[in-house]
Structure 1
């Protein structure tokens, strides 16, 4: 087994971000833009699917499913129209990698969409963007118009005989629409709620036609794989989680932002990139992949942040939304704020999540207000047990993760609230 490569890499996904007018077609073409598309159109679609499989590219939206395998699920004979749908509904608290990518380098996403659509015999691509992300929506729409005008979209792209239309769709700000089947229902004009699976989208997705749903960062990686090859891609990251990754670091660090690093980079290394803990106040707890992933503590500074490393340590890589909290933050208070978010965003389709998140928020609010009891801790864990694995989609599982892990690592803080009947300190200036 090869050791993971976690040394800093020459920027790949973010290499154009600081270029003047990086979002324009002119800048993109000057920096190898659309060269991968020309190369891809010379290949057979199945060759591209095999290339992506060989690269080991895994979904960057949180689940980490191998992208090439997912593409291979699409039927070879297009009896019905095939669709590629891009999940750009970035709503996870702490996640902020796709929006900057669409702002700074929208053409990398568009080029990836064209290559992926060609590989899957899809002539229609939808990019579903979170409705509040107004600036990325404008940038993306402008980039799509530029691509049409240059002949990269529309009929007979670059005289290849391949046709593709891209539609940029603005969502309405529902977190649940980040779940792929709820996103598809929303695209169809229905209320955004998860579907029962099977059938899976590859068999019956958008308009009951074969559909692949991929994350922005996943698809934006594809042109680099086509140009560089699968072996080059595997020189970064670890054996089972290869490639570069955009880590979103927020919270109590000196320089929050997006940092591109190989998969398997540790928080200790990321903190060095981000200038260390803000004002030197020590780390208390952090999330490796957003609020829906179990918390880590200072003891987990050297956990490799790839899909296997995070899972082995008891959490998930998720969307690599690394939220960092120092010793001034109350864990019960932070957990309560996340739980209020999940209560608000539950679509209400299934009882465990609809009722469970409501009661979790009620109990946590009472505890944080200094009116809790020791029995409330057992009640929280019992409600979590009745949600986890029993809700219709992963929102329920994500909602219980900060609670169960918070109690696991910081039980004494929850007990202290009950014994002293004192309110938990709030984080000054924090947004709900």
Structure 2
């Protein structure tokens, strides 16, 4: 008998005991003489159910949660004997909170092993880069522009216009910078994707690099995210080893490489120009604009700066086409938005859906109202500066 189990290595899951549960599962298997493979994934974003344990079956994954160390003996007995268990939630994909989402950016998060490049590719990874390499710069810009993707960092600036400005700038060097300085309280989507599907961010940044003619990129992560720093560094090593970073990316004649830089946690460095100051080794202070970073950015060179979720949306757009992405959403807001529900709410977590959902639906229906059961008095949208 052999069992494959999935337990999250996401910082949110680890904080409530995922590491201890994984260890207890290993020990329980050893005591019973059962061969067990424990795959440490990212989180699916159902944080009220963490630690979530998933079991691979011929019919798909079956979820149990939230599981504690003390639940492991009875859980293992149920698995070994194929008997019911109180924590059984049924097929993971059929959990209503997960099933009603439209997961484009977070489709692999919680599903794959974030340390495995093979796992990433098996689940559709690097299809976007392959198509981008066949298209060329102008056609990529047309796709990104037609998709309607706007910056997911808060400003909502059209990504296609930003990239086109850098692509048309004349310079001996250009840079790609990923703003992963997620500083607002109650936010965790950037961290989740970096820990659960880091190669997605790398692929998005690589596509940006070949589009605008940049050969170097930097991911600026706040020091409070050690798990994300470790995951991104491991993914960069794997991508480099697999031929997707460095010279001749994806078998082409294009070159692009990445480096993680860790910030000291200054809130102001979430603003793009102070982030650039910090990257250059100076104190993080907001620069006067103009000049814009697209013309005069990192080290005075034309620079694309987008946040994690913006880069993470790019591979889907290139793999499936601009129309497939733009078909979601409404008005000038196309595609999906990963929404973070936190605070005094019954079902806190990551909910990805097309634009158009109302605040009432998010708080009362999807979020289940307040955790305390009292009426909702106020909702803070977009973090403390919202």
If the length of structure 1 is used for normalisation, what is the TM-score?
A: 0.65
User: What residue number does 1:122 align with?
Assistant: 214
SS of 1:287's partner is coil
Residue 347 of structure 2 corresponds to residue 291 of structure 1: no
Displacement, 1:23? 4.5
Contact 1:16 1:22 in 2 (8 A): no
Displacement, 1:254? 0.8
For 2:357 and 2:268, the matched residues in 1 are separated by: 29
Contact 1:80 1:210 in 2 (8 A): no
Residue 55 of structure 1: which of 147, 165, 183 is its match? 147
SS of 2:223's partner is coil
SS of 1:21's partner is coil
Residue 311 of structure 2 corresponds to residue 213 of structure 1: no
Displacement, 1:236? 1.1
Contact 1:205 1:211 in 2 (8 A): yes
Contact 2:200 2:315 in 1 (8 A): yes
For 2:167 and 2:103, the matched residues in 1 are separated by: 35
SS of 1:147's partner is helix
For 1:20 and 1:48, the matched residues in 2 are separated by: 27
Residue 175 of structure 2 corresponds to residue 79 of structure 1: no
Report Cα offsets for 1:270-321 as digits up to 9, x if no partner: 232223321321100111211101xxxxxxxxxxxxxxxxxxxxxxxxxxxx
Once the two structures are superposed, the pairs formed by residues 393-412 of structure 1 within 5 Å of their partners are none
User: What residue number does 1:184 align with?
Assistant: 276
Residue 200 of structure 2 corresponds to residue 108 of structure 1: yes
For 2:216 and 2:280, the matched residues in 1 are separated by: 14
User: What residue number does 1:276 align with?
Assistant: 369
Displacement, 1:111? 0.5
SS of 1:110's partner is helix
For 1:125 and 1:78, the matched residues in 2 are separated by: 18
For 2:232 and 2:317, the matched residues in 1 are separated by: 22
User: What residue number does 1:325 align with?
Assistant: none
SS of 2:177's partner is strand
Residue 12 of structure 1: which of 96, 104, 109 is its match? 104
Once the two structures are superposed, the pairs formed by residues 18-37 of structure 1 within 5 Å of their partners are 18-37=110-129
SS of 1:42's partner is helix
Contact 1:238 1:263 in 2 (8 A): yes
SS of 2:329's partner is coil
For 1:213 and 1:158, the matched residues in 2 are separated by: 23
Displacement, 1:12? 1.2
Displacement, 1:158? 2.2
User: What residue number does 1:343 align with?
Assistant: none
User: What residue number does 2:244 align with?
Assistant: 152
Contact 1:85 1:213 in 2 (8 A): yes
Contact 1:99 1:133 in 2 (8 A): yes
Change (3 A) 1:79 1:203: same
If the length of structure 2 is used for normalisation, what is the TM-score?
A: 0.72
Displacement, 1:249? 0.6
Contact 1:78 1:121 in 2 (8 A): no
Between structures 1 and 2, the one with greater helix share: 1
Residue 265 of structure 1: which of 357, 362, 375 is its match? 357
Q: Give the total of aligned pairs.
A: 287
Displacement, 1:247? 0.5
Contact 2:246 2:257 in 1 (8 A): yes
Report Cα offsets for 1:173-229 as digits up to 9, x if no partner: 001000100000000000000111111111111000011110100010000001111
SS of 1:167's partner is strand
User: What residue number does 1:338 align with?
Assistant: none
Contact 1:8 1:262 in 2 (8 A): no
Unaligned runs of 5+ in 2: 1-98
Contact 1:60 1:218 in 2 (8 A): yes
Between structures 1 and 2, the one with greater strand share: 2
For 1:8 and 1:265, the matched residues in 2 are separated by: 12
Root-mean-square deviation (CA), in Å? 1.4
For 2:145 and 2:329, the matched residues in 1 are separated by: 16
User: What residue number does 1:199 align with?
Assistant: 291
Report Cα offsets for 1:370-429 as digits up to 9, x if no partner: xxxxxxxxxxxxxxxxxxxxxxxxxxxxxxxxxxxxxxxxxxxxxxxxxxxxxxxxxxxx
User: What residue number does 1:365 align with?
Assistant: none
Displacement, 1:78? 4.5
Contact 1:94 1:291 in 2 (8 A): no
Unaligned runs of 5+ in 1: 1-6, 294-432
Residue 239 of structure 1: which of 304, 308, 331 is its match? 331
For 1:202 and 1:180, the matched residues in 2 are separated by: 11
For 1:136 and 1:77, the matched residues in 2 are separated by: 32
